[in-house]
Amino acid sequence: MRLHKRIGRAFEFRAPTYLLHADNFVANAGAGGSTFASDDVGGVQYPRVKPSWGADNSATDTSVAAPLPVQATIESNQMTAGGTVSTPAFAVISCSTDNGDHTLISANASKKLRVLSYVLVADAAVSVRFEGGTGGTALTGVIPLIANTGISSGFNPVGHFETAANALLNLELTGTGNVFGHLTYVPV
């Protein structure tokens, strides 16, 4: 027993005692303390902190045979980008044979336009490139298309590319074909 002096008064310091069992331990064993879950690994007690689930007053250890029940939902009418909830939007692509720039989405004064998916189809040979701003910054490389072919990007929740803030999304055409399709984007 060690005695310590604190502010003029002596007090006794006692370390807590634990009674160890094969796979659990009891705190303050002599005083009837609580039982805590543990796992005996080579004679060392490791606290059990793995998730358990079940009705009140029961616990089922999570395992391959008894996985943790989870309910997941996919919400398609909104998404979160940088902690801000945004609503995906859609645009039709219908560009004539005119070479040059074709505005797909007008500029947003305070946000970038992030493209999540797109589909392009050409009716004749043409090369296309997505740009931020009219005649602006290339957002993709040149994509060559031949007659009656196309490209589908698939959905990418982090985006395939995006404009700068306050820049429109442009599709630049070079060739003789018309280009049709659609895209999904979100202002971020």
Can you tell me the mean pLDDT for 40-47? 81
Can you tell me the mean pLDDT for 106-110? 92
Bigger pLDDT: 25 or 55? 55
Q: What is the pLDDT of residues 126-162, one digit of tens each?
A: 999 999 988 789 999 999 999 999 999 999 988 999 9
Report the C-alpha gap between 7 and 28 in whole angstroms.
28
Predicted structure pTM score = 0.61
Q: How confident is the model at residue 5 (pLDDT cuts 50, 70, 90)?
A: very low
Residues of the chain with CATH 2.60.120.340: 79-187
Can you tell me the mean pLDDT for 65-81? 75
Q: How confident is the model at residue 48 (pLDDT cuts 50, 70, 90)?
A: confident
Name the CATH architecture for the domain at 79-187. Sandwich (2.60)
Residue 104 backbone phi and psi in degrees, to 5: -95, -40
Report the C-alpha gap between 103 and 98 in whole angstroms.
12
Q: What is the pLDDT of residues 166-185, one digit of tens each?
A: 999 999 999 888 999 999 99
Residue among 131, 153, 146 at smallest CA distance from 177: 146
Exposure b/e, 27-48, CB count within 10 A at least 16 = b: eeeeeeeeeebbeeeeeebeee
Q: What is the DSSP letter of 8?
A: T
Looking from the CA of 125 toward its CB, the CA atoms found within 13 Å total: 1
